[in-house]
Amino acid sequence: MGKNKLKKFAEVQRMTHVIEPEFDEVMNKDYRLKGNWNKEFGNDNPIVLELACGKGEYSVGMGKLFPEKNFVGIDIKGARMFTGAKEVEDASMTNVRFLRTKIDLINSFFAENEVDEIWILFADPQLGRPRKRLTSGMFLERYVRFLKPGGKLNLKSDSTDLYEFTKLESIPEYHQEQNNFEFDLQFDTDQLYEEGIKALDETMQAVLNIRTYYESIWLAQGKKIKYLSYNLIKK
Ligand X SMILES: C[S@@+](CC[C@H](N)C(=O)[O-])C[C@H]1O[C@@H](n2cnc3c(N)ncnc32)[C@H](O)[C@@H]1O
213 binds ligand X (CB under 6 A): yes
Strand partners, 72: 49, 97
For residues 202 and 190, is the Cβ–Cβ distance under 8 A?
A: no
Binding residue for ligand X (CB under 6 A) from 32, 39, 102, 198?
A: 102
- Interface stretch with ligand X, choices 1-9, 75-83, 141-149, 165-173 (CB under 6 A): 75-83
- Catalytic positions, written as ranges: 124
Our finding on whether 215 is near ligand X (CB under 6 A) is yes
* Stretch of 64-72, 73-81, 147-155, 179-187 contacting ligand X, by CB under 6 A: 73-81
| Residue nearer to ligand X on the CB measure, 48 or 123 | 123
Helix H or strand E segment including 130: none
| Residue closer to ligand X, measured from CB, 103 or 118 | 103
76 binds ligand X (CB under 6 A): yes
How far apart CA 135 and CA 123 sit, in angstroms, is 9
Query: Based on the number of CB atoms within 10 Å of its own CB, is 171 exposed (0-12), middle (13-18) or buried (19 or more)?
Result: buried
Q: Which stretch binds ligand X (CB under 6 A): 13-21, 117-125, 146-154, 193-201?
A: 117-125
Question: Which is nearer to ligand X, 38 or 107 (by Cβ)?
Answer: 107
The residue count for binding ligand X (CB under 6 A) is 18
* CA dist., res. 36 & res. 76, Å (int): 21
> For the window 25-64, what string marks contact with ligand X as x by the rule CB under 6 A?
---------------------------xxx----------
How many C-beta atoms lie closer than 10 Å to residue 2's C-beta?
A: 8
Question: What is the rounded CA–CA span in Å between residue 165 and residue 170?
Answer: 6
> What's phi and psi for 22, nearest 5 deg?
-75, 155
d(CA 207, CA 202): 9
Query: What is the closest distance, in whole angstroms, from the C-beta atom of residue 179 to ligand X in the complex?
Result: 28
Task: Name the DSSP class of 170.
Answer: I
Chain residues in the site for ligand X (CB under 6 A): 52-54, 75-77, 80, 102-104, 121-124, 212-215
